[in-house]
Amino acid sequence: MISEPLLHRMKILVVDDDRITVTLLEQLLQRHGYSRVMGVTDSREVLETCAAFDPDLILLDLIMPEMDGFALLEALRSDASESFLPIVVLTADVSEEAKSRALEAGATDFLVKPVSQTEALLRIRNLLEVRRLHVLLENQRSALEEAVRERTAELRQTIAELQALNQRLPHSSGFSNV
């Protein structure tokens, strides 16, 4: 079951060169309970903003001056530190080429402007839930790996102690000749 309060605290970054679009998306998300929404209108600032804000989901326009959405997708996906970051492309470009290119470059989903608010909110919610579960799984995996490292170190220490003890004991087979 999806836990809405947990999802509403997740961070969403809206990237579009049109200030009005960014403001409308920020307001829509905030009206629906999302409290950590940030907008960026200059595509050159996105990578730095991502590093500082650490979003859980990005809404990304494709057609922007300076650095377009395709270049941003490639740059964001080249960062190996992030194993799963949902990126939803929101664009007015309805061509199959744009859709294919965006999805091949690493977009998680693709929505055409004007976007149905209901559809956008449902997709955002679903992707945030997947992101939340992915992060939870990664945290559990990391904790298990750390526990294995600790247990392995303990076992190595115990083996070393047993070997040292064994070397100090007199060597006898424990059997006597009768």
Q: Identify whether 142 is part of a domain.
A: no
In tens, the pLDDT along 133-154 reads 988 998 888 888 999 999 999 9
Token digits of residue 60: 């990304």
Domain count of the fold of the chain: 1
Domain with 98, as residue range(s), is 4-135
Q: Identify whether 147 is part of a domain.
A: no
Confidence of residue 84 (pLDDT cuts 50, 70, 90): confident
Q: Cβ neighbours of residue 55 under 8 Å, at least 6 residues apart?
A: 11, 12, 13, 38, 85
Q: Identify whether 174 is part of a domain.
A: no
CB 27 within 8 A of CB 19: no
Q: Identify whether 159 is part of a domain.
A: no
What is residue 169's predicted lDDT score, i.e. its pLDDT? 81
Dihedral over alpha carbons 133, 139, 145, 149 (to 10 degrees): -170
CATH number at residue 120: 3.40.50.2300
What is residue 81's predicted lDDT score, i.e. its pLDDT? 65
Count how many residues are written for the chain. 178
Q: Identify whether 87 is part of a domain.
A: yes
Q: Which residue has the tokens 């509403």?
A: 8
Is the pLDDT score of 7 beyond 60?
yes
Peptide bond into 55 cis (omega under 30): no
